[in-house]
Chain A
Amino acid sequence: DIMMTQSPLSVAVTPGESASISCRSSKSLLHSNGITYLSWYLQRPEKSPQLLIYQISNLASGVSGRFSGSGSGTDFTLKISRVETEDVGIYYCVQFLEVPWTFGGGTKLELK
């Protein structure tokens, strides 16, 4: 199975500042079709995960433009600009290159 490793485990951010979360896969997520199958999710407290970004950098419908994704191959980053209260929760990366699709362990974002 492809292993997904996130860092840091937790991050505390002052509202209005930016935060970055890293995700590394044990195998390149670039498919021969040219698509890289990496997506990001946010699970707010007591809620279900919600899709933020897919295929590295495509913003899901209705998601704030303060979220952006970047990276390639095995190294990926989620950036949250101008952090707000509603951004608190656990962020997960997920690979869809091969089944079983696998999740990172999560990064908890808290406010200072």
Chain B
Amino acid sequence: QVQLQQSGAELVKPGTSVKLSCKASGYTFTSNHMNWIKQTTGQGLEWIGIINPGSGGTSYNVKFKGKATLTVDKSSSTAFMQLSSLTPEDSAVYYCARGGSSLFDYWGQGVMVTVSS
């Protein structure tokens, strides 16, 4: 069965970076795109960007360009998202979600990132 297992909660300081992971199993990792989505109480759900694990090609929401960087490691079927220059506004739950073009069919369990000094 398809599973997306995300890394654990992070407490990080302002101005630093954090790298989140999403390990895929139960399907051919390079056959499906991977998305990252941010959820906050105030802004709701926001799509951050998408990566093609086969080619490494990416597309970002303009709002998150320069903030998020998406990469993959095909050898471990893992997708990553690095968030840089963190501020309290980056505090959120972040999901990875498989799919794109017309749906997100599988989601990770989410990871809470808290940015605080």
Residues on A close to B: CB < 8 A? 35, 37, 39, 41, 48-51, 54-55, 60, 92, 94, 96, 99-103, 105-106
In the bound complex, CA of A81 to CA of B44 (Å):
26
Residues on B close to A: CB < 8 A? 44-47, 59, 61-63, 95, 97, 100-105, 107-110
Q: Which residue of A lies closest to B96 (CB)?
A: A48
Q: Is the CB of A60 within 8 A of B107?
A: no
Chain A residues whose C-beta falls within 8 Å of the C-beta of B46 in the assembled complex: 100, 103
Chain A residues whose C-beta falls within 8 Å of the C-beta of B102 in the assembled complex: 35, 37, 39, 54-55, 96
Please tell me which one of the listed residues B45, B59, B103, B107 contacts residue A96 in the complex, with CB atoms under 8 A apart: B103
Please tell me which one of the listed residues A41, A55, A103, A105 contacts residue B47 in the complex, with CB atoms under 8 A apart: A103
Q: Is the CB of B47 within 8 A of A102?
A: yes
Given A48-B110, A100-B61, verify A92-B45 contact (CB < 8 Å). yes
In the bound complex, CA of A51 to CA of B102 (Å):
11
Given A48-B108, A48-B109, verify A103-B45 contact (CB < 8 Å). yes
In the bound complex, CA of A4 to CA of B100 (Å):
18
Chain B residues whose C-beta falls within 8 Å of the C-beta of A60 in the assembled complex: 103, 105
